[in-house]
Amino acid sequence: MGFQRVPETVSVTIVFRCVNKEVSNIYYAEKAGGYSLSDIQGLAAEVDANVAPNFAALMSVDDAYLRTEVKGLDAEFDLSASVNTSTVIGSLGADPQPNNVSFCVSQRSGLSGRSARGRVYICGLPTNVMKTTPYGDENKLTLAAANAYVGVVDGARITIDNFTTWNPVLVSRYANGTKRTEAITFPWVSSDFTTQLVATRRNRIR
């Protein structure tokens, strides 16, 4: 896909190692008036220290958090930073699920319409977060696990929101199936889940 400008906005990519493959979650942050290299470096360090290890605490010991990358989206050739000070192995002793087995957390803007919401596919699910009873519910996370994953995703939102003048946002690149000339953003105000059923990200299995 050709370059599409997202004004005053950066991507925040949290990179994990899951079953010997790098996978990631991507968030977005906006800074009114634009950003400098020090702004980007500071945001990367903040997420690396205060968000990413919380995900590792809910991952199998066979998985790990690797680094946080922040990249400017305002220009085709933009500023970037990568921080890996808080690299850590997952905390849970159970075996990991295959990489394509994910839990979907919904990001909300408080507005209606598909463009005004986002989703995060949680990777590194250990086997012990799945329900075992009643029969037929084995494809669902326990309620405690679902709430915990929503908590760490919303923790990313809160961390971005509390760090200097950055604001957590959702990025919309298309409208009615047509690519926008420039992407637009919506405020990210809350997180939730719609089902305890696991989802899939098929491209993560290879």
Question: Running DSSP on this structure, what letter comes out for residue 59?
Answer: S
**Mean pLDDT over each residue of the chain, to the nearest integer:** 94
pLDDT tens-digit series, residues 25-47: 999 999 999 999 999 999 999 99
* Domain-embedded: residue 196: yes
State how many domains the chain has: 1
Instruction: Give dist(CA 180, CA 193) in Å, integer.
Output: 28
* Residue ranges making up the domain that contains 54: 9-204
Structure confidence by residue, pLDDT tens digits, 88-122: 999 999 999 988 899 999 999 999 888 899 999 99
The answer as to whether 2 is a domain residue is: no
In a domain, 113, yes or no: yes
pLDDT in tens, 128-178: 999 998 998 999 999 999 999 999 999 999 999 999 999 999 999 998 889
- Whether residue 72 lies inside any domain: the answer is yes
* Residue 3 covered by a domain: no
Q: In this structure, is residue 34 part of a structural domain?
A: yes
pLDDT at 113: 83
Entry pTM: 0.94
**Residue 96: inside a domain, yes or no?**
yes
User: DSSP of 79-141, one letter per residue?
Assistant: -EEEE-TT-EE--B-SPBPPTTEEEEEEEE-SS-SGGGEEEEEE---BGGGB---STT-TTBB
Domain presence at residue 1: no
